[in-house]
Chains A and B, each alone.
Chain A
Amino acid sequence: MWKGFAHLLKKDIGLMVAGKFFLLALLSLTLYSCYINLVYVNLDQGTYRVYLYDPQKMYTGQSAFITTVNSRQELENVCSDSASVGIDVSGDAPEIYLLSSATATADHYRGLWGRAVLTGLEEEEETEIVGAYDKEQKSRREITAEFLFFELSAVGFLGLASIVFKEKQMGVIRVHGVLPVHKAAFILSKLSVFLVSDLIFAVLLTWLNVGIADSFMILPAILVQAGILSLVMALTGFLCAVWLPDFKQFSLFYLILAVFVTTPVFLAGQTGVAWDWIVFHPMYHLFAAVKSAYFGVRTSSVLYYFVCIGSIALLFYAAYRILAREMAKEG
């Protein structure tokens, strides 16, 4: 019954090559890596700048945070970005001038910061550092986890579905109904091809962006999470592709998934916003697991793995039943 499995695998790989799947994956890999290495790691938010207008040259201190300006007008101009603090010491009492950032607490802090810089800050004292990564390592891990999640959840889903639609058009499902190949083999061959290609993608993305030496210890955990995500998404893609009559209707699901399902997860991950309802979002847990894997934190509970395996089994069963129904429908 499983004799034709190798042939099925060969056919699926052939279809992926013909559909330029590997080329697209390679292009995405290059694009993501260029973005991470050239742009993302260099992004930073600098300390609030302090501009000083001091015509009588009363200020004698030295501070790297202070820039002097020559007129009140110039002071108001440079402080128009709501992230700078202006200090005017030309009057009787020194005046702090700032454009509100619309957050009262942040404005208050900027005022205090301006005063402290003007009255003199001492050498920075030792602060307790509890994290294991510096800013660059953290940025690399964080954004690589986000790109991997996005690639596997949105793009992988589309890849498998496009192959199934192509096969549907070619009448492959009808032919399979009369072939002595088990229906499960039809699903399994696709799953394994996508799983392996997703895992290779995950390894390459991690090596290129986190570094081979740095990713040595975390790679097994990343592969486990990438495997789970890949299986869940591939099975969902397969299910939708077999179930929905045409690619246009499928693209509806894709649209909803890509824009409105992954965006809240992405925002919650990037900004650390505490949304209570996000725990009911199934993709959030998958995302959190991928991210934890990149930071070498073991947060996932036994329940998480149990639910994942259960969902994969359930999706597989649903895919199997729907494929059987489609084959029966096709005669």
Chain B
Amino acid sequence: MHQFRCQLGYQIKNMRGDKLCIVTFLLPILVGLIINILPSVDFGTLGEAAFGSVQNDLPEEAVIWLQGIGSLTEYGTAEELKEAVENPSTQMIGVLRCAEGIRTVLSGDELELYETMGKTLPQLYEKRTDGTIFEETVIPVSTDYDGLRALLIAITLVTALFMGCTFNAMNIIGEKEDGVALVNQILPMRARTYILQKLALGFLGGTVSAVVTAFLCIETGPAQIVPLCALVVLSAYIASLIGLFVGRFSSGLMVGIVYIKIVMILFLAPPILFYLLIPEDHVVCLLSYLLPSSASFYGLMDLLGGQTDRLWIHLVILAVHAVVLSGSYLFIAVSKESRR
């Protein structure tokens, strides 16, 4: 154990001179700091309907009603409103005064949810004075929750975690290029020790970076600390394993960077896109669990949103990934060893 600690100390010392690793380590922390500093007014709430109107056109009652069900932006002229509705980046619904109530303007490219909302909004407005009395039970999830802020924090944390693969992959490739890998073969060091050292390197890098970022961005309650730690540890372990794979299969630095690029795009883009665009039980969303980053991302989003009941599913999925990846790596390493 003492020997392993000494060797690991040497590995970390070796990595200290590597600017790429240091920057990869510090970048998520820096972004975490920026997210923390950015005023919260910058973060529009995600999942809220956006309405647009022309100044002084809608009756006061309609303005208050619309502000209760979404965000309302007022434009100076009808032309400006039309431009905002047409903007392909938004799902804005234009609302104008009509004889008895309101009428809506759509751009025709909205998602189904907003298309139906736009088409039925005048009817909903009319029904606001409907006499039927309903009781309403809303099960709360969290008190202060900011959708976009949570999304940015989750993206930064998942990036920090899966960047863990950069630490050991770069280290292994660098050693390969310098010939250290060849020297290692004649040194009395077992392949297992080498793998464990590199695994620990990536794991420590990813974990420390993610923990510092989480400390900066998330206000955790005592109940969330254990699941958060489990998520971080499992994800960092998987990332570190992926780093070992990248290190093993890259012949040079250039190829390694291309692999890391592919891993980062493949791991980060699908969960974010699917989270933004499709419902949770959609088949594509379920398929995305084939990527370990999806489980980490959805788990983090649940944690940030205060939902802890589904968290164990994400942890189990991560554990399965960890076992399968460890098994595959061991299989490859052992079969190569026996061939030698």
Which range holds the interface residue count of chain B? 35 or more
Are A271 and B279 within 8 A (Cβ)? no
In the complex the two chains form, what is the Cα distance from A85 to B137 in whole Å? 10
Interface residues in A198-252 by Cβ distance below 8 A to B read 247-249, 251-252
In the complex the two chains form, what is the Cα distance from A252 to B47 in whole Å? 35
| From A94, A107, A271, contact of B148 by CB (8 A) | A271
In the complex the two chains form, what is the Cα distance from A38 to B136 in whole Å? 41
- Could you say which residues of chain A place their CB within 8 Å of the CB of B227? none
- Could you say which residues of chain A place their CB within 8 Å of the CB of B15? none
Check: A74 CB closer than 8 A to any chain B CB. no
Are B20 and A255 within 8 A (Cβ)? yes
Are B124 and A130 within 8 A (Cβ)? no
Are B278 and A43 within 8 A (Cβ)? yes
Check: B211 CB closer than 8 A to any chain A CB. no
- Could you say which residues of chain A place their CB within 8 Å of the CB of B71? 105
In the complex the two chains form, what is the Cα distance from A197 to B81 in whole Å? 40
In the complex the two chains form, what is the Cα distance from A112 to B70 in whole Å? 12
Interface residues in B95-143 by Cβ distance below 8 A to A read 103-120, 122-124, 127-128, 130, 132-142
Are B254 and A94 within 8 A (Cβ)? no
Are A81 and B280 within 8 A (Cβ)? yes
Are B88 and A129 within 8 A (Cβ)? no
Assuming the contacts A95-B135, A98-B139, A105-B69, asked whether A45 and B85 have C-beta atoms less than 8 A apart, the reply is no
| From A91, A130, A162, contact of B86 by CB (8 A) | A130
In the complex the two chains form, what is the Cα distance from A103 to B49 in whole Å? 10
Are B20 and A115 within 8 A (Cβ)? no
Are B108 and A134 within 8 A (Cβ)? yes
Are A105 and B105 within 8 A (Cβ)? no
Of all chain A residues, the one with the shortest Cβ separation from B72 is: A105
Are A46 and B133 within 8 A (Cβ)? no
Assuming the contacts A98-B139, A115-B130, asked whether A138 and B109 have C-beta atoms less than 8 A apart, the reply is yes
Assuming the contacts A105-B71, A258-B261, A271-B148, asked whether A137 and B112 have C-beta atoms less than 8 A apart, the reply is no
- Could you say which residues of chain A place their CB within 8 Å of the CB of B42? 275-277
A168 to chain B, nearest CB (A): 13
In the complex the two chains form, what is the Cα distance from A48 to B123 in whole Å? 16
In the complex the two chains form, what is the Cα distance from A44 to B49 in whole Å? 15
Are B127 and A115 within 8 A (Cβ)? yes
Are A263 and B155 within 8 A (Cβ)? yes
Are A46 and B132 within 8 A (Cβ)? no
Check: A3 CB closer than 8 A to any chain B CB. no
- Could you say which residues of chain B place their CB within 8 Å of the CB of A270? 89, 276
Are B69 and A131 within 8 A (Cβ)? no
Convert A243-275 into 0s and 1s, putting 1 for each residue whose CB lies closer than 8 angstroms to a CB of B. Answer: 000011101101110111001000011111111
In the complex the two chains form, what is the Cα distance from A83 to B141 in whole Å? 13
- Could you say which residues of chain B place their CB within 8 Å of the CB of A112? 69, 124, 127-128
